[in-house]
Amino acid sequence: MIGVGNENRTDDAVGLHVARRLRQLSLENVMVIEESRVGADLLESWKGASLVIIVDAASSGAKPGTVHCIDARAQQIPRGLFHRSTHALSLGDAIELARVMDQLPPRMLVYGIEGEEFKEGMELSRPVEESVDAVVELVLNLVRASGSC
């Protein structure tokens, strides 16, 4: 599981928050990674994994706190979903680059939690904070059942 985000940009840190909650559970056979930059490091982090779950902040115009789930093996990442990025490369761009390079893992699910605020700060907005537990539960269910979105 890879949580992506910038700790200092309010809702952009949501992937890191999900990763930290999952890490506290000490799940067997689950590696939890926090990634502050998207790019080649991200592609390297999933090498050899059979299932990769990525969580990042989304900014598509949907209601804040909305949880998007994309099976990245079955479809391309929607163009506008991760367009607002404080990362060097957007998550969608990194995944599509991996697809072109034939470096996607056998299974990859991407959860985007619609952000409300992307300004300087350390606190998640209320709707985004409320979605963290829901995504943690979704990830736990996937890990237990190896299901899909």
What pLDDT digit, counting tens, does each position of 6-23 carry? 999 899 999 999 999 999
CATH code, 11: 3.40.50.1450
Report the greatest alpha carbon distance in the chain: 38
**Distance of CA 49 to CAs 21, 54, 83, 104, 107, Å?**
21, 12, 26, 10, 9
pTM value is 0.90
Which residue segment(s) compose the domain that 104 sits in?
Answer: 2-145
Residue 90 confidence (pLDDT): 79
pLDDT per position as a tens digit, 81-134: 875 554 467 788 889 889 999 999 999 999 999 999 998 999 999 999 999 999
Q: How far apart are CA 97 and CA 73, in angstroms?
A: 13
One-letter amino acid at 69 equals C
Give pLDDT, residue 36: 83
Q: Domain count of the chain?
A: 1
pLDDT in tens, 16-57: 999 999 999 988 888 999 988 776 678 888 888 999 999 999
